[in-house]
Structures are given as structure tokens and as C-alpha cells.
A and B are shown apart, each in its own frame.
Chain A
Amino acid sequence: MALQSLDIKARSATTTPSPVARGEAIKVAKLIDISKCIGCKACQAACMEWNDLRDAVGTNVGIYDNPRDLSDQSWTVMRFSEVEVEQGRLEWLIRKDGCMHCDDPGCLKACPSPGAIVQYANGIVDFHEEHCIGCGYCITGCPFDIPRISKKDNKAYKCTLCSDRVGVGLEPACVKTCPTGAIVFGSKADMIHHAEGRITDLKERGYQNAGLYDPQGVGGTHVMYVLQHADKPELYANLPKDPHISPLVSLWKGVTKPLMSLGIGLAVFAGFFHFVTAGPKEVEEEEEKTD
């Protein structure tokens, strides 16, 4: 059975509670082990195939990143970084970029259109394009620079974590296709457990700072990375070290707006009650006559 309205935990621009009759669901997560990724881009191809997306053929700009960036047609792209963490020891870090499925999603918080962004009980954050108005607020809300607005239809798009597949008990297309097993999928608890094993292994192989990327600033994520250098996530094509929803977005979407709305309402009422109290300012009759 596909994910349905009973499974929606949070909904954009909605101030009343979501359905809770079903209670807690198992949280899912996708774990991307960067140390196992060979940059073959099979996941990119699988994503295109499952979701029926075809990006325009781009131009080669002299690096392996292709397409150059995420787009309405490319919901995941491999980002290649050549770094020397230790002098004279080149490392090629390949990060599969895409939506992190934040537990506290900034996109959802920023979106002004009711139901254009939803978060399912299992943690997946999904855009419902039929409700999207194309305002781009999700872009301002996202700490990872993920949503892209289509030039064709002005709707926002991003990775769905294959919510349609997960809803019927399948793993995401990228997970199914990865030839090295660098991408795995399951319950978040299992994925953390799996990651621990990988991290122990990496530490034994000399990666002292290997660790899990599950940033708590956004409540943890439902897409996690195993990083060889978890102390320096920026090495991986500027993966933010401590991502959180921008304070500006919190200010803009927090208590300020209800207060501002209240202020406007009060101004209107103040006028009304002033009128009832003091009455209109009339020019007196004598004044009219004198001159």
C-alpha cells in the first residue's frame, strides 16, 4: 500500500495537527558510504529511469561532475572532490548529492502553500507539485541547497527518496542499482548500526576521523553519509559542517508573523474603537460661518 494521507506527519503551511491515529511509524534512512563509492553514476541513471527524468545533454567542463548541478530533471548528482588531507596523499572523494530528508525540514517550514511539501511518518520529505505555486521559498529554507524550480512549469522538484517505491516495500532505485553496495536502505536504527560497523572498519584502516554524518542541527537526516573524514565534511564538495535552518528563516517563519498579523488586526480595531470613543473630527459650524 502506497503512502497515503494517514501517513503524513507534517504538512507545509498548515497550523492544525496532522493525523496521528496510526501512531509512530518506523523511521527509514538511506546510508551512503562514501568510502565505497566508485563514482560510476549508476544511481544517477537509476534515478532518471525510475522517475522518468531526462536532463538536457550538457557540456563537459573538464571535471567529472556531470550534470554540473542538481536540476528539476537531476535529483541526484555525484560531486567529485580532489583533496590532500595529508600532504602528498591525494584522495578522491565522491559524494552523491541530493535531498537529505531532514527530520526538521527547512523547505517545509518555509513553504507558504498548504500541502505542497509533506513529511511522511517514516521521515521522507516529499514535494507535492500539484500544490506548488513556484515561489521558491523552499530554496531559502533548505540548508543544503537542494530544491530546484523547473523552467518549464515553475514547480519545485527534488529527490523523493522514491517514496512511491518505499510505500510498497521496495528500496529506492539508487539503492537497488548501486554495484558496490555503497548505498543501503532500511530503518534508521539499522542504518546507524550498519554505519558503526563500517566506521570501525575504516578506523582500523587508518581513517582516524571516520564517522557518520547525521547532522543534529536539522534533527538528524533520513539520508546519512559514512565519511572517511567526518571531522571535515566541507571536504566533500562543501557538505555543511553544522547545518541548521538559517536564523533568518526561523525569524521569518517563527513567532514574528503571528505577532505581525496580530499587530495589523489591532491597528484596525484601534481605529474602530477610537472612532467609537472620540468620534469623527468635524469642523464646527461657527467656523464654517466665520469668514
Chain B
Amino acid sequence: MSKMIQRYTAKERNNHWVVSIAFVLAGLSGLALFHPAFFFLTNLFGGGPWTRILHPFIGAVMFLSFIAMAARFWRFNHFTAADRQWMKRIGDVIRNRDQGLPELGKYNAGQKYLFWIMVVSIPVLLLSGMVIWQPWFAPYFPIWLLRVAVVIHALAAWIMILGIVVHVYAAIWVRGTVRAMTRGTVSEAWAKHHHRAWYREMTGK
């Protein structure tokens, strides 16, 4: 086994997992009300009324923890020329033909897109969610706004869920990635292969 490089500190990992757990719980409790096919998911939360009560609070936890995470990772997520090059070869990336890909920093363009989708969607979910939050806030808004908010909320949630499906799959697909978030480290070979510019920065090689 090659040497390991630190990718995430314990604080960053815990922050990430709070966001992920809250996301999964918010997603499951939201989907329960999204379509009758998913209503059975209310059983995971102690029934319909409890699902309705818990969902917005879980969402709020996710929002707050995401703010902290976004602040930590913001500066690594600016697009660069290398990212544009990489995006042009996305077809090769998907087919595992990685020879001659540009040298990337800490994140690739796909990860950056996900980051910015989250940066937009999560505040949208919070704001639209507040508008339809019974019994606390919803009574203060006009009905037309409730109608708009509920559609936007469902749409933003859908985009996020799709994004996260891709995110989770990518972590499983690209071998050696999951330990970055469980143990905080990745192998030098992994870093060199996927994020060479970041690897150089970390090791000075």
C-alpha cells in the first residue's frame, strides 16, 4: 500500500456526515409526502403526523450544517481552465479512459457542479420550506405563495436527490474515495491519479 495523504480533518468529516444523515432523513420524510407510492416511508418516522412535524426540523439541521460545510469548501470550488478541459472529456471519464486528463485541484468539475447545485438548492429548500411550514409560518403567507413554494420545494428537492444519487454513486465507483470521508485519508496514488494538482500542492512533488 502506498502512503496516505490527509484529505479531510475529523471536523470536516463529521460536518459532512451530519449534512448527509440530515439529508437522507429529510429526503425520506419529504418523499413520504411527495407521492402516495412513498407514503409508507412515514412508518420510519412514527407515522404521518410525526413525519410532517419532523421533516422541517431535520431540514433546518441540514441547512445549518451545510452552511458550515459550504464555508469550509467554498474556496476549492471555483472553476478553472483545467475543469473545462476535463468536462470536454467527461465521456472518457465515464468510460474509465483516464489517460491524459488534465491535472485537477482538490475537486473535479462534477464535484464542483454538485457543490454549486447544493449552494443554490439548499437555501431555496429552506425558504420554500419555511413558507409551507405548518403550523409555524404557513398561516402568514397568502395561498398563491404556498402554491408556488410547494412546487419549488418539490422541484429543488428532486434536483438535490438526483444530484446526491450521482454523488453517492461516484464515491462508490471511484475506488478509494469513501475512506476520504470515513478515515480522512486517500492513497497517494489516488490523489495523483484523480487530483494531481492538489497532490503536488500537498506533497510538494
Q: Could you tell me which A residues sit within 8 Å of B by CB distance?
A: 13-15, 112-114, 131, 133-137, 139-140, 145, 149, 151, 154, 246, 248-249, 251-252, 257-258, 260-261, 263-264, 267-268, 271, 274-275, 278-284, 287-288, 291
Contact = CB atoms under 8 A, between A and B. Distances in A.
A257 B158 CA distance: 10
B16 to A, nearest CB: 20
Nearest to B203: A291
Interface in B155-205: 158, 161-162, 165-166, 169, 172-176, 187-190, 192-194, 205
B132 to A, nearest CB: 7
Interface in B47-104: 48-49, 51-52, 94-96, 98
Interface residues of B, number: 50
Interface of B: 2, 32-39, 42, 48-49, 51-52, 94-96, 98, 132, 134-135, 138-139, 143-144, 146-148, 150-151, 154, 158, 161-162, 165-166, 169, 172-176, 187-190, 192-194, 205
Most buried by A among B34, B42, B134, B193: B134
Q: Is the interface of B mostly helix, strand, loop or mixed?
A: helix
Contacts, number: 130
A269 B21 CA distance: 22
A252 B151 contact: yes
A278 B98 CA distance: 13
Contacts of B169: 271, 274-275
Contacts of A133: 33, 42, 48-49, 51-52
Contact of B49 (A134, A260, A291): A134
6 interchain residue pairs of minimum CB distance: A133-B48, A271-B169, A288-B189, A112-B33, A13-B36, A136-B134
